[in-house]
Every structure is written in C-alpha cells, then in structure tokens.
Amino acid sequence: MKHIVIAIDGPSASGKSTNARMVAALLNYVYVDTGAMFRTLAWHCLQNRVDVHDAKAVAGLLRKWKARLDCVEGKVRLLVDGYYPEKEIRTAETSAAVAHVAAIPKVRDWMKKTQRECIQFGNLVMEGRDIGTHIFPETDFKFWLDAPLHERAGRRQAEGVHENLAARDERDSQRAAAPLMPALGAHKINNSGMTPEQSANLIITEVHRRLEHRKTARHK
C-alpha cells in the first residue's frame, strides 16, 4: 500500500471522530469520516422518498445516484450532484435512518469500493465501524476505541442527542455485512475518563512506534 491508513474503529460515542480529526491534524494526514458517507446516502434516500427498510429500493437508488469524492482542507467528503449536505446529514431524521441503510450488503459493497478510493488523496486517518476489519484490513495501523455504555450515552446526551446506544451497538455487531468488532491486531484503547488529547496522544505514540518498527524491519 503506497500510503499509510490509520484505521480508527469503535461503537457510537467512543470518541472516534474527535480523535481521528485530532490525529489527522497533528500528523498532517487526510481525515475521512466514513459515517458521514452512510449518512449522505440515508439523507439522499429520504430526499427521494425511498424506504430505508427496503433493501432493493435503496440498492436501486445507489445504482443511479451521482456521487463523487472530494477533498477540501484535508477532509474527504462525498458529494451528491456536486453538493455536500453537511448540516442535513446530522438531523435526527437522518440519524434514525442511517443504521438501516448501513445494514444493507449492497450498500456496504459500494461504500467499501468508494472508501478505498480515498487513498488517492494521500495518507489517511479513517474512522468508522469496519475500517480495520473490512475496508483496509491490510493496514498495520488499526485502533479500537471504546468506553462503558453509560459513559458513551452521557457523551451523546451532552451533545443534545438522545440515542439508544445499546440497541445501536446490538444492530451494528449482529448485522450480516461487516459487523462491528475489533480488527485482528488492533490496538485497543478504553478512553473512559480520558480527555480527547490524551487518547489522541496514545494513538500517535503507537503509530510512531509501529512506523519505527517497520523502518527497522526494512533495514534488517
């Protein structure tokens, strides 16, 4: 693999987004929020009145939509008809729809192909739920973030979001396509009680350690 991919996975409210953005900024890598891509599709389904519970209908829309990747100020975005629905994908309606869309195997196939194409933009910090297991399983830089359910729920409530995280965790971990689970060889970080700076520092320290190990192995 020509470029480095740092895969940051974990359940909802485990700090993936905050940590991935920090790590990308500190290393000057490109940041990829894969969840936003699924949200963009969910929003597009709602815009076109496609039932997100109807896998065939969603797959049909997926074949026809005009979506493309774009990279602006070190962040990859998925544009639809040249537009990035930045605010629209964060509404309660889109949030309720995204888990159903994400469970559809054809959606995950399309997303895998598209998310792997992000490598065209350079070294990546990519966050999601299946980066290390499904999107870039070959990367040497896999991380799994987690915290107790009550703490993650508290983080969501502090953001003004009321979501049943236990139900979301169960759906994500039991889906047939790319279920939520730690990748083989992932560096696990329980960031309970940590500041984002502390957990991001742990990730960067481990990245540097693995890069040094790679360099040493190459010169043996």
Mean pLDDT, the chain, rounded, equals: 92
Q: Are 13 and 165 in contact (CB under 8 A)?
A: yes
The mean pLDDT value for 209-218 works out to 86
Rounded Cα gap, residues 74 and 125, in angstroms: 10
**91: its two tokens:** 């509404």
Residue 141: name the closest of 191, 91, 195, 204 by CA: 204
Average pLDDT over every residue of 111-125: 98
pLDDT tens string 121-134: 999 999 999 999 99
Q: If pLDDT is split at 50, 70 and 90, which confidence band does 82 have? A: very high
Q: Identify the three-state secondary structure at position 134.
A: helix
Neighbours of 178 (CB within 10 A): 21
**Sign, Cα dihedral of 197, 202, 205, 211:** negative
Residues 114 and 133: their CA atoms lie apart, in Å, by 16
The model's pLDDT over 168-213, given as tens digits with 9 standing for 90+, comes to 777 777 776 777 788 989 999 999 989 999 999 999 999 999 999 8
CATH number listed for the domain at residues 1-26+122-220: 3.40.50.300
Check whether domain 30-121 has CATH 3.40.50.720, yes or no: no
Q: Note the pTM of the prediction, 2 decimals.
A: 0.90
For residue 50 the two structure tokens come to 């496609």
Domains in the chain: boundaries:
1-26+122-220, 30-121
The predicted-structure confidence for 37-58, as pLDDT tens digits, reads as follows 999 999 999 999 999 999 999 9
Q: Are 182 and 16 in contact (CB under 8 A)?
A: no
Number of residues that this document lists for the chain: 220
Task: List, for residues 148-163, the tens digit of each pLDDT value.
Answer: 888 888 888 887 777 7
Query: What's the confidence (pLDDT) of residue 49?
Result: 97
What's the rounded Cα separation, in Å, for the pair 190 and 188?
Answer: 7
pLDDT at 1: 67
Angle at 31 between CA 29 and CA 33, to 5 degrees: 160
Cβ(79)–Cβ(85) below 8 Å: no
